[in-house]
Structure 1
Amino acid sequence: MGARLPGRHRRAVERQATYGEVIAIREFRALWYAQGLSLLGDQLAQVALAVLVYERTKSPAATAAVYALTYLPSILGGPLLAGLADRFARRGVMITCDVLRALLVAAMAVPGMPFPVLCGLVFFVVLLSAPFSAARAALLPEILVGDRYVAGSALQNMTNQAVQMLGFAAGGALIATLGPYRALALDAATFLASALILVSGVRRRASATREGAKPSMWTMTRAGAGLVFGDKKLRTLVLFAWLCGFYVLPEGIAVPYAATLTSELPVAVVTGLLMAAMPTGTVLGGFLFSRFVTPSGRLRVMGWMAMLSCAPLILSAMRPPLAVVLALWILSGIGGAYQLAANAAFVQCVPAERRGQAFGLVQSGLMAVQGMGILVGGFAAERLGPEPVVALAGVMGVTSAAVLAMLWTESRGDVAARVRARATA
């Protein structure tokens, strides 16, 4: 019998997946391309809708109301519709959602569409994103095994951030050239292209639910809630995910924050820099965290990284200059890379046949905490000013992260063992 290896050598044999080997998997490439294409179209559509609604109503309130519709359906529909990803074949759910969204957005692109109808179409387009996202999230662990899942998730997260920055930056110029109606038609085409990529690039799989054992949607929703919130490990991981409600708050009040900073740059330019800071940090953190930290090491430092995502915001109370604020917000984005570890641990703890419902519940909560955080932060900033509100969000976030880190320390052992087993296999 050979000698037992010291702990540091046992950890060294944990294999870390590379981006190259993940991209080499055909099915992942199809999911990656389809997601990026749909997201780019969505960013373009958000700008086009804002322009279209304001042109037709000249009302900031109406424009804000339509934008709010992009949050509400995910909060309401996620828990109920995400179960479709477990009830039916996940590839089929994604393709169906893409085709339906293409038809709805094409209807929005018809000139002269009445405003109430336009709002209804927006609601249903966003509503369909809940089962699509749940199906994609549940399908990804079937395609990427072990540490490939973390590398693939990191690659998708970095792509999402890059596409969002590109979409918002180029959206205005493209809409100025094409007009809002043609831009919406282009968005409909991105959904159709996404569906075609999924048809050709992702193989058919049976549904996760056994044939003849298809409970009602309400029953699946209750069972999913019981699974996610009834287990201590899963509950802690979900709360780690929802911690983002604290550290995304600054983006929601970036405009008033920019107005308080002393800078020779226009407020609009400063606002853009502020809103790009955290996504930049997220891209950098995701790359470093997935590439240079071992799978089990990510679980050990997850609590510290979560605290890092909020701690830099506390220094906003000192009213630092623009360059320092940007550095602090980028550092906060780097800390947000802990979400990769939380996501991977969540996948390990949820049965494969119930991942769709579980991911849907988490996603709905994410939308809710982000929307509520930005809403509360906006009201508070009117009374206290943006800097104290950002600092207060940092204090509350660090406190919550510290509590979650202690809870996670008590229960991470068996999850780490599973992750190590997959990483060394």
Structure 2
Amino acid sequence: MTEQAARFRDVFAVGEFRVLWIAQTQSRIGDQFARVALALLVFDRTSSAALTALVYASTYLPPLLTAPLLAGLADRYSRRTVMVAVELIRAVLIGLMAVPAVPLPLLAVLVVAASCPDPLFSAARIATLPRVLPDGRYQVGMSIASSTDGIAQIAGFALGGVIVAGTGSPHLVLAIDAASFLVSAALLRWGLRPHLPEPETDQKSARASGFALAGIRLVAGDRRLMGLAALVWTFGCFVVPEAMAAPYAEQIGEGDAAVGVLMAADVVGMVVGGLLVARLGTGLRRRLTVPLAFAAGLPLAATAFAPGLPVTVVLWAVSGLASSYLVLAQVRFVQLVPDGMRARAVGFAAAGLQTAQGLGMVAAGALAEAMPPSTAIAVCGAAGSLGALAIAFAFGLTGTDGPRTPERSPDRAEPIRT
């Protein structure tokens, strides 16, 4: 089956994909509930844009350290077992955060602890997807996963803001998040095959010394992989509106309910963009990746004028639409990495993405202490666009080299019968 021939129904016909999709979607909704609750809780207690951004960023920063140590477990053990274990750990930690009257410093520690295993789960899930969806279904499946992940974020941000504003209880929202991880663990345990990783056969990975660091060395030693990873990491400049939504809403005279709407705006655009790029051919995907990355920061730069809520929502949604370049870059990255190294390489790239998002949010929060939140967002957007261009030229991302042919996996899904 060619990439162009794969259809949405072909992807949803695969039972294991449905399990991964449902588990991730409902868990993501709970995550966004928690992020809205944390943002409002910290801003209400401190009235500080910097502290609000710092605590929010704490959900992204820890993977920089934990990815090299943990992601390799998904290249050594059953990827199903890895995902289930991570979901159970996060359920316990988020459940502790839901306990009333938890002091803010302890809450921050729990946020960091719950974020530490993120790269392990992400690496195991992404490494499993090409085996569940071989042939042309992989590109479509990645787009579906990205878009529905965005829909889950929209639902979580919007409903989370409404629930907190209506009940005044962020702890209830955190309890819902903890429950979502338990549901995800159950779905994965009984709906997915073990998916043991293949032995390392790639010569470059075989020469890499040190199991945990082999993924980093593989990516750093390959110009294409490093360039694609760096381009993905520029998204850290484009995600800052999520962390700055609360202080920005106050700047334009809006209340708590608007915070969830602002947080969801760029995600709406990413959902639409992800669906639009789902069935693009290989050549067109590569030609569009860099232009979309550059365009993602331009609407954020227009936020410098602090327009009203409706105009801001449109601008941030357009930025999210262009941010669908992430799907294009991630698909090409995964296709270039052999299965036996996939979790470690993906874990490193995913940790870099999460860390870039956290650093972007911290930088925006620091800037907002010296300038209006609207200006801080605009500066970050412009920096991201310029960074995308610099990376594209430095690593030659406009080339037409093709991906490696993936090795056959012993437990792949059977090809679709036409």
Superposed pair shares fold, TM > 0.5: yes
Match of 2:149 in 1: 160
Q: Distance between the aligned counterparts of 1:321 and 1:173, measured in 2?
A: 20
Match of 1:389 in 2: 376
Q: How do 1:356-371 and structure 2 match up within 5 A?
A: 356-371=343-358
- Closer, same or farther in 2 for the Cα pair 1:125/1:397, shift >3 Å? closer
- Closer, same or farther in 2 for the Cα pair 1:120/1:370, shift >3 Å? closer
Q: Distance between the aligned counterparts of 1:21 and 1:166, measured in 2?
A: 26
Question: Is the contact between residue 157 and residue 283 of structure 1 (CA under 8 Å) also seen in structure 2?
Answer: yes
- Closer, same or farther in 2 for the Cα pair 1:118/1:368, shift >3 Å? closer
Question: Is the contact between residue 233 and residue 411 of structure 1 (CA under 8 Å) also seen in structure 2?
Answer: no
Question: Is the contact between residue 89 and residue 208 of structure 1 (CA under 8 Å) also seen in structure 2?
Answer: no
Q: TM-score scaled to structure 1, two decimals?
A: 0.81
- Closer, same or farther in 2 for the Cα pair 1:184/1:308, shift >3 Å? closer
> Which sits farther off after the overlay, 342-351 or 196-205?
196-205
- Closer, same or farther in 2 for the Cα pair 1:279/1:16, shift >3 Å? farther
Match of 2:223 in 1: 232
Structure with the higher fraction of residues in helix conformation = 1
Q: How do 1:16-415 and structure 2 match up within 5 A?
A: 16-47=5-36, 67-109=56-98, 120-172=109-161, 174=163, 183-209=173-199, 219-261=210-252, 266-268=254-256, 270-291=258-279, 293-317=280-304, 322-407=309-394, 409=396, 412-415=399-402
Q: How many residues align?
A: 396
- Closer, same or farther in 2 for the Cα pair 1:37/1:276, shift >3 Å? closer
Question: Is the contact between residue 138 and residue 359 of structure 1 (CA under 8 Å) also seen in structure 2?
Answer: yes
- Closer, same or farther in 2 for the Cα pair 1:373/1:14, shift >3 Å? closer
Q: Distance between the aligned counterparts of 1:410 and 1:104, measured in 2?
A: 40
Q: CA RMSD in A?
A: 3.4
- Cα displacement string for residues 216-245 of structure 1 (whole angstroms, at most 9, x for unaligned residues): xx9223222111111100011001101112
**Ranges in structure 1 where 5+ consecutive residues have no aligned partner:** 1-12, 420-425
Aligned AA for 1:135?
A: A
- Cα displacement string for residues 379-414 of structure 1 (whole angstroms, at most 9, x for unaligned residues): 223334344433433333222222333356566322
Question: Is the contact between residue 38 and residue 170 of structure 2 (CA under 8 Å) also seen in structure 1?
Answer: yes
Identity of aligned residues (%): 39
The structure with more radius of gyration: 1
Aligned AA for 1:198?
A: L
- Closer, same or farther in 2 for the Cα pair 1:300/1:96, shift >3 Å? same
- Closer, same or farther in 2 for the Cα pair 1:16/1:296, shift >3 Å? farther
- Cα displacement string for residues 276-296 of structure 1 (whole angstroms, at most 9, x for unaligned residues): 2211111111111214x3232
Q: Distance between the aligned counterparts of 1:255 and 1:120, measured in 2?
A: 22
Alpha-carbon shift at residue 70 of structure 1 (Å):
2.2
Question: Is the contact between residue 304 and residue 374 of structure 2 (CA under 8 Å) also seen in structure 1?
Answer: yes
Q: Distance between the aligned counterparts of 2:297 and 2:242, measured in 1?
A: 13
**Ranges in structure 2 where 5+ consecutive residues have no aligned partner:** 201-205, 407-418
Question: Is the contact between residue 302 and residue 405 of structure 1 (CA under 8 Å) also seen in structure 2?
Answer: no
Q: Distance between the aligned counterparts of 1:89 and 1:228, measured in 2?
A: 23
Q: Distance between the aligned counterparts of 2:386 and 2:170, measured in 1?
A: 44
Question: Is the contact between residue 16 and residue 295 of structure 1 (CA under 8 Å) also seen in structure 2?
Answer: no
Q: For 1:154, what is the secondary structure of its paired residue? A: helix
